[in-house]
A = this chain, B = another copy of it.
Amino acid sequence: MSYDLYYWPMGPGRGEYPRLVLEAAEVAYRDVARLAESEGGGMKAMTAFLSGERGPLIPFAPPFLIDGDLVISQAAETSAYLGEKHGLAPLREADRQFARSIAFTTADLVAEAHDVHHPVGTGLYYEDQKSESKRRAEGFRNERIPKFLGWYEKLLSNNPEGPDFLVGDRLTYADLGLFQTWLGLEYAFPRRMANIAGDYPKIRSLVERVSRHEAVAAYLASERRLPFNESGIFRHYPELDAE
């Protein structure tokens, strides 16, 4: 059995959230939009689902995952689905459910990080909304980043199983999502993150631990891992960063 994951091939973006779960779980998958058309891949294969040619379960946007006759979309939902199936979710029911709440909250943070460089609209270029972006970036750096990171740090501090994981006693898709988001924030806001990283020792330790996870480390060193860039969610525009 192999999954088909669909996401824009240009960068990690929201597709990286389910992709990391697939990689950490070491399950087989095809990253379809990145395959050649001769292998059944490419953008055409992706847009066929979005246009409804592949059936009535039409995702609104990538990422989405095809598992037999199941169509799962939304980055956090797809991550939760995969994590729960492949041992990257908590075991206890309350923890299992709470991991979902964490992942969806991370999705909100990711959306806010995107809107820093697109505050006026996704239909316009960054260059056409630079002054608005500067205003939004200030609140994001000074209020939103600390609010979200402070919450994760608190979850780690309060976890009755210890501070190694956000919830429960094993690595989950919620931890992987925080890992990716932390790296994205460091990429986009290096000055700000260098200034405040010391406030979040438990998150940093988690990020460090995830990066050494055997399957994750192998993935990060592979060509499958796409670097952050300025066409994605997390973009490094120096004028939007500050200590």
Contact = CB atoms under 8 A, between A and B. Distances in A.
Interface of A: 52, 56-61, 64, 69-74, 76-77, 81, 93-95, 97-98, 100-101, 104-105, 108, 111, 115, 119-124, 129, 132, 135-136, 138-140, 143-144, 148, 151, 154-155, 158-160, 167
A239 to B, nearest CB: 16
5 contacts: A56-B160, A57-B98, A70-B97, A71-B98, A121-B138
Contacts of A94: 57, 69-71
Contact of A52 (B59, B64, B154, B167): B154
Given A60-B151, A94-B70, A101-B59, A132 B111 contact: no
B58 A77 contact: no
A112 B155 CA distance: 28
Given A56-B158, A58-B158, A151-B60, A101 B77 contact: yes
A71 B159 CA distance: 14
Chain multiplicity (copies): 2
Nearest to A68: B94
Contacts of A167: 57
A121 B139 contact: yes
A140 B73 CA distance: 22
A77 B74 CA distance: 12
B111 A108 contact: yes
B151 A136 contact: no
Contact of A121 (B104, B143, B151): B143
Contacts of A111: 108, 111
Contact of A73 (B105, B136, B155): B105
Nearest to A67: B97
Most chain B C-beta atoms within 10 Å of own C-beta, residue among A64, A95, A120, A159: A120
